[in-house]
């Protein structure tokens, strides 16, 4: 396997423009001869499907939910970054680029990140034109707020529901094309495999989640916009149906999987309350604009938080990072929360929580102002915990939120399988070892609206228009048989442990040993435990119901089976990376102050794993894409 | 310490759209007050499966009240007794030890049952398809600040845009009308300058599609507003009707 990034040469700011000049175009009358499959309807998939259809391609769109509008992008709260510099506070494309590279701890590709910053402004224009009701100033112009990891206000927002509004914009654009007949729309369909013929992606195998029917679809190119793999941890802020299956099955067909160990743990989530817990709820990072994070200085201080005087409160982020204070990047905030709790300073019943306090902001700006900014988040918090955050500080703790790793893609967002593309959280491309807040929405929409529509044309232009192998081709047959065999196997085990029970146990291993901090010893034992549990899963899992009907637990069983394999690769990747970078903290590699200590000499690469074969044991081969930094100087990240 | 309860459940089982369906009963012990309603159903299903019984199917995804997947009718109320939350955000602390809870799918001819509590809401997609958008192509947008939008207007549009498409409005309406859902999208877009251009075509297309799907008309019961988990106001329906009448009589 050869990793060719396909980055254009020349000055950073001219690369994308130059690339656009050089890539091939498909003429309007030929576009209708090509068919593109888009799997997933979140920001990346919805935007891509709509944009392809507008260009004149035939599109098929698939999602596992009952409607495209329910993709998990909908849950993003805080905002979307763009380098508009409306507040006139010194922002620029360069600065957005630089903050993203630095925030990612210098483990992303300069050219990709610069392009992301370049198209960020067009995304805002596009969304506004679609009728996305962003927050406005009294003068009628768009409002901005600040977010972690940046010293400018560049985040556009729609109350605490920015993801919802942007997703509905993309969904509506997509439904317009469904109406026009340019998109064939398949909700409640799950992709089970990619079909590769003569080395090129030529279609997919799906399961109709209502009838259980396995179907074959042929196309000239396939785009996976299927989100991240945070649910490998069982408890995460991801929606319950979010999974790695599409990406993982593509990986098993030859697409390299990059940096699986880079997982972002979001610092502001509602803490776990019991074993029955099925998911964790995030409180937007935007809360850190006005909320102050603290724990009592004294261990076991059981006083009501409001009764703890100022000098007995440890505002640890403000003290340790005076320049950024509560707005340090997510990895830094999460690690520090874990550190103070490990030191016994945590609060609440479990001791696994810190305070996020709005007292000072309410005194300064009034309850009404705070409510207009965060009202729905406060309501959500009160509803879940039964406590009123206007009166008592919120209790928060880190939770798995976003996965920077994903399918390896080149500058064109093409995976190592020609004709197979990955977009949004499903790829590894832009966030390095840590994503900044409000950048996921930006990347998803950038990939979908402004990158793929161009780059996919470059590939299609080189394919014979209208070429079809037919879905009775042996590659389709084989892929369908394998998908069917796995379903039969799962249903036939008829063991004693439920799928959720296995998933919860897997999640615990992954959280304890491949979570906020990792060590060689822990990772090695994680691999052993994951293998043992996986073996037991295939002997003893209990999958109810039948295959030819709606059967959610059968869907879950197949997804958990893939998580088992991914989990081992995450540990292997974390083990290989003998440095700390961004969210990947190896306990052996820290500065004296407990900050991530990179090793640029040896680890300035993207780890892209190639799947070999599974015989009870994963065989993954590491390929390295060396990251060249021509335009930024690599520094020890400091937010002090 | 958190409270534990015994809850008596009665839930709908239906093995597909053509099955007549029936209720089944089960008593759950040790229901923790901090559980969400859907977590309580997870626990029910775990017990059923370990007992070699079929779990009850229900729709869910984000479990934080925003995706609109869950749509349970709980003791006759869409999303249950707590105002302004989806079923996934309903917590068991709203119940007492020994309570009886009946769980049904939303009952509407336009939402046929797929299995148990899972229904087909694709009619909503088709209503949006008919005109719930601004026809702007990727890349053709003007500079975002080129058209200022009054803050109040943007906020007003937002209040309607916040609809999560769960279908509680249809479930609660004696006429099984989708007027609140349809009106909310129309009001969101028609209130913004970006949506103004297609104002008339949009309202006509969407209202006609709503009728086509077999949803009933609005008789101002306002049950929809009462159960809406995000508090969409029925003024959306008034706006929709006004726009529809205007479009009918405008002569172009």
pLDDT band for position A242 (50/70/90)? very high
- Option in B57, B93, B128 nearest A552 (CB): B57
Question: Cβ separation of B132 and A175 shorter than 8 Å?
Answer: yes
Distance CA B247, CA B224 (A): 25
Q: What angle do CA A266, A158, A121 make, to 5 degrees?
A: 90
Written as six digits, the tokens of A272 are 């776990």
**Nearest to A109, CA basis, from A401, A408, A332:** A408
pLDDT in tens, A57-86: 999 999 999 999 999 999 998 899 999 999
Burial of B47 (0-12, 13-18, 19+ CB in 10 A): middle
CB-based contact, A272 to chain B, within 8 Å: no
Beta strand pairing call for A200-208 and A214-218: antiparallel
Tell me how far the alpha carbon of residue A187 is from its chain's centroid: 21
- Option in A50, A161, A276 nearest B32 (CB): A276
pLDDT in tens, B34-88: 999 999 999 999 999 999 999 999 999 999 999 999 999 999 999 999 999 999 9
Cite the DSSP H helix spans in A310-423. 316-320, 330-342, 359-365, 367-385
Tell me how far the alpha carbon of residue B220 is from its chain's centroid: 18
Q: Mean per-residue pLDDT for B112-119? A: 98
CB within 8 Å of B203: residues ≥ 6 apart: B131, B186, B190, B240, B243, B244, B247
- Option in B15, B54, B132 nearest A172 (CB): B132
Written as six digits, the tokens of A312 are 């007995």
pLDDT band for position A615 (50/70/90)? low
Closest CA in chain A for residue B117: A550
Binding-face residues of A in 363-392 toward B, CB within 8 A: 379-380, 383-384, 386
Do residues A193 and A249 touch, judged by C-beta distance below 8 A? yes
pLDDT at A299 over 90: yes
User: Any catalytic annotation for residue A154?
Assistant: no
Burial of A538 (0-12, 13-18, 19+ CB in 10 A): middle
Best B38, B48, B62 residue to mutate vs chain A (most A CBs within 10 Å): B62
Closest CA in chain B for residue A167: B67
Written as six digits, the tokens of A509 are 């291993």
- Option in B65, B114, B129 nearest A380 (CB): B65
Binding-face residues of A in 589-618 toward B, CB within 8 A: none
Distance CA A519, CA A585 (A): 8
Binding-face residues of B in 223-252 toward A, CB within 8 A: none
Residue with tokens 């888009």: A38
Distance set, CA A330 to CA A265, A267, A400 (Å): 7, 6, 11
Distance set, CA A515 to CA A407, A519, A638 (Å): 20, 10, 22
CB-based contact, A219 to chain B, within 8 Å: no
Do residues A431 and A100 touch, judged by C-beta distance below 8 A? yes
**Nearest to B159, CA basis, from B236, B224, B61, B78:** B236
Question: Cβ separation of B54 and A544 shorter than 8 Å?
Answer: yes
Question: Lowest mean pLDDT: which of A38-47, A253-262, A594-603, B199-208?
Answer: A594-603
- Name chain B contacts of A384, Cβ cutoff 8 Å: 36, 89, 91
**Nearest to A250, CA basis, from A190, A187, A195, A186:** A195
Mean of per-residue pLDDT scores for chain A: 95
CB-based contact, A144 to chain B, within 8 Å: no
pLDDT value, residue A147:
80
CB within 8 Å of B214: residues ≥ 6 apart: B109, B110, B123
pLDDT at A375 over 90: no
Question: Cβ separation of B133 and A453 shorter than 8 Å?
Answer: no
pLDDT at A616 over 60: no
Residue A546, sorted as left (phi over 0), alpha (psi -120 to 50) or beta, turns out to be beta
Question: Cβ separation of A550 and B57 shorter than 8 Å?
Answer: yes
Question: Cβ separation of B195 and A131 shorter than 8 Å?
Answer: yes
Do residues A396 and A356 touch, judged by C-beta distance below 8 A? yes
pLDDT value, residue A443:
98
Question: Cβ separation of A140 and B133 shorter than 8 Å?
Answer: no
CB-based contact, A175 to chain B, within 8 Å: yes
Q: Within 13 Å, how many C-alpha atoms sit on residue A71's CB side? A: 34
Distance CA A16, CA A116 (A): 10
Catalytic residue among A95, A107, A313, A330: A330
Q: Mean per-residue pLDDT for A366-392? A: 91
Using DSSP, how many helices (H) and how many strands (E) does chain B show? 9, 7
Question: Cβ separation of B139 and A47 shorter than 8 Å?
Answer: no
pLDDT value, residue A636:
79
Written as six digits, the tokens of B183 are 């009106």
Strands (DSSP E) found in A434-575: 497-498, 541-542
pLDDT value, residue B107:
95
Query: First vs last Cα of chain B: how many Å apart?
Result: 67
Beta strand pairing call for A35-39 and A221-224: parallel
**Nearest to A492, CA basis, from A544, A548, A549, A567:** A544
Q: Mean per-residue pLDDT for A534-548? A: 97
A355-376 as b/e: b if 16+ CB within 10 A: bbbbbebbeeeeeeebeebbeb
Closest CA in chain A for residue B116: A550
- Option in B49, B132, B158 nearest A498 (CB): B49
- Option in B36, B93, B138 nearest A126 (CB): B138
Written as six digits, the tokens of A90 are 């010194």
Q: Mean per-residue pLDDT for A271-275? A: 88
- Name chain B contacts of A164, Cβ cutoff 8 Å: 66, 162, 164
Binding-face residues of B in 133-162 toward A, CB within 8 A: 133-145, 147-151, 154-155, 157-158, 161-162
The number of residues in chain B equals 252
Binding-face residues of B in 70-129 toward A, CB within 8 A: 82, 84-85, 89, 91, 93, 114-115, 118, 120-122, 124-125, 128-129
Q: Mean per-residue pLDDT for A43-51? A: 98
CB-based contact, A552 to chain B, within 8 Å: yes
pLDDT in tens, A446-490: 999 999 999 999 999 999 999 999 999 999 999 999 999 999 999
What would the 3-class secondary structure string for B18-87 be?
CCCCEEEEEEEEEEECCCEHHHHHHHHHHHHHHCCCCCCCCCCCCCCCCCCCCCCEECCEECCCCCCCCH
Describe the crossing of helices A110-129 and A162-179 by its angle, rounded to 10 degrees.
70
Beta strand pairing call for A406-407 and A257-258: antiparallel
Do residues A566 and A248 touch, judged by C-beta distance below 8 A? yes
Q: Mean per-residue pLDDT for A607-631? A: 88
Question: Cβ separation of B143 and A550 shorter than 8 Å?
Answer: no
Written as six digits, the tokens of A329 are 């990047």
DSSP for A542-580, written as a single string: E--S-TTS--HHHHHHHHHHHHHHHHHHHHHHHHH--S-
Distance set, CA A12 to CA A15, A106, A118, A432 (Å): 5, 16, 11, 18
Question: Cβ separation of A278 and B68 shorter than 8 Å?
Answer: no
What residues does A221 pair with on adjacent strands? A36
Distance CA A562, CA A574 (A): 18
CB-based contact, B4 to chain A, within 8 Å: no
């Amino acid at each position: 396997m050869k990793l060719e990034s396909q980055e254009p040469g020349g000055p950073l700011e001219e690369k994308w423009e130059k690339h656009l000049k050089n890539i091939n175009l498909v003429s309007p009358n030929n576009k209708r001869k090509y068919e593109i499959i888009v799997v997933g309807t979140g920001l990346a998939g919805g935007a891509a499907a709509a944009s392809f259809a507008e260009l004149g391609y035939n599109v098929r769109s698939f999602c596992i939910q009952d409607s495209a509008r329910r993709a998990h992008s909908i849950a993003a709260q805080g905002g979307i970054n763009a380098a508009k510099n409306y507040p006139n506070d010194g922002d620029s494309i360069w600065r957005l680029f630089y903050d993203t590279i630095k925030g990612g701890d210098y483990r992303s590709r300069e050219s990709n990140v610069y392009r992301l910053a370049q198209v960020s402004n067009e995304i805002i224009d596009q969304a506004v034109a679609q009728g996305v009701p962003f927050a406005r100033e009294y003068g009628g112009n768009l409002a901005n707020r600040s977010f972690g990891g940046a010293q400018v206000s560049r985040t556009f927002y729609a109350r605490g529901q920015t993801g919802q509004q942007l997703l509905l914009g993309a969904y509506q654009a997509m439904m317009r094309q469904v109406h026009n007949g340019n998109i064939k729309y398949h909700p409640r369909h799950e992709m089970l495999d990619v079909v590769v013929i003569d080395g090129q992606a030529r279609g997919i195998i799906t399961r109709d989640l209502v009838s259980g029917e396995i179907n074959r679809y042929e196309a000239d190119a396939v785009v996976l916009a299927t989100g991240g793999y945070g649910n490998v941890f069982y408890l995460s802020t991801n929606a319950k149906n979010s999974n790695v299956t599409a990406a993982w099955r593509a990986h098993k067909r030859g697409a390299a999987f990059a940096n699986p160990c880079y997982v972002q743990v979001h610092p502001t989530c509602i803490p776990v309350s019991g074993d029955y817990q099925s998911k964790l709820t995030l409180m937007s990072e935007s809360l850190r604009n006005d909320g102050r994070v603290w724990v009592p200085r004294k261990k076991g201080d059981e006083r009501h938080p409001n009764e703890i005087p100022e000098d007995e409160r440890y505002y640890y982020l403000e003290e340790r990072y005076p320049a950024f204070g509560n707005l340090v990047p997510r990895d830094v905030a999460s690690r520090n929360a874990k550190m103070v709790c490990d030191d016994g300073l945590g609060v609440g019943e479990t001791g696994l929580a810190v305070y996020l306090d709005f007292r000072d902001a309410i005194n300064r700006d009034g309850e009404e102002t705070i409510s207009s900014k965060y009202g729905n988040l406060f309501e959500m918090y009160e509803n879940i915990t039964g406590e009123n955050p206007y009166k008592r500080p919120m209790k928060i703790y880190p939770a798995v939120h976003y996965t920077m790793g994903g399918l390896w893609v080149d500058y064109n967002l093409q995976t190592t399988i020609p004709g197979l593309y990955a977009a949004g959280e499903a790829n590894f491309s832009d966030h390095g070892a840590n994503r900044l807040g409000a950048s996921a929405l930006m990347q998803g929409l950038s990939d979908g609206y402004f990158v793929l529509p161009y780059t996919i044309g470059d590939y299609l232009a080189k394919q014979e228009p209208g070429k079809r192998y037919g879905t009775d081709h042996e590659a389709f047959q084989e892929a369908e048989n394998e998908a069917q065999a796995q379903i039969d196997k799962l249903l036939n085990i008829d063991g004693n442990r439920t799928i959720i029970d296995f998933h919860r146990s897997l999640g615990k291993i992954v959280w304890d040993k491949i979570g906020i901090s990792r060590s060689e010893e822990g990772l090695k034992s994680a691999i052993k435990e994951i293998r043992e549990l996986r073996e037991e899963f295939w002997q003893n899992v209990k999958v109810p119901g039948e295959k030819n009907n709606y059967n959610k637990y059968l869907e879950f069983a197949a997804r958990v089976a893939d998580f088992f394999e991914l989990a081992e690769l995450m540990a292997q990747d974390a083990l290989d990376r003998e440095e700390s970078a961004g969210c990947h903290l190896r306990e052996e590699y820290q500065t004296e102050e407990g900050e991530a200590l990179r090793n640029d000499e040896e680890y300035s690469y993207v780890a892209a794993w190639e799947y070999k074969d599974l015989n009870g044991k994963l065989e993954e081969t590491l390929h390295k894409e060396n990251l060249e930094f021509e335009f930024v100087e690599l520094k020890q990240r400091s937010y002090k | 310490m958190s409270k534990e309860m015994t809850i008596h459940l009665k839930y709908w089982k239906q093995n597909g759209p053509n099955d007549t369906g029936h209720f089944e009963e089960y008593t759950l012990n040790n229901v923790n007050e901090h559980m969400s309603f859907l977590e309580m159903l997870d626990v029910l299903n775990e017990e059923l499966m370990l007992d070699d019984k079929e779990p009850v199917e229900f729709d869910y995804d984000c479990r934080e009240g925003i995706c609109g997947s869950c749509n349970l009718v709980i003791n006759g109320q869409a999303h249950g007794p707590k105002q302004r939350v989806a079923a996934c955000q309903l917590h068991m602390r709203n119940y007492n030890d020994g309570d009886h809870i009946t769980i049904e799918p939303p009952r509407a001819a336009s939402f046929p049952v797929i299995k148990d509590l899972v229904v087909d809401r694709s009619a909503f997609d088709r209503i949006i398809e008919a005109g719930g958008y601004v026809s702007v192509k990727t890349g053709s947008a003007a500079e975002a600040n080129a058209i200022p939008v009054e803050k109040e207007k943007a906020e007003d549009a937002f209040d309607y845009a916040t609809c999560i498409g769960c279908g509680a409005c249809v479930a609660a309406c004696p006429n099984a009308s989708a007027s609140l859902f349809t009106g909310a999208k129309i009001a969101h877009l028609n209130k913004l300058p970006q949506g103004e251009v297609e104002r008339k075509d949009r309202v006509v297309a969407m209202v006609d599609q709503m009728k086509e799907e077999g949803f009933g008309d609005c008789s101002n019961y306002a049950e929809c507003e009462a159960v809406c988990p995000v508090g969409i106001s029925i003024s959306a329906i008034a706006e929709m009707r006004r726009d529809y009448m205007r479009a009918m009589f405008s002569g172009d």
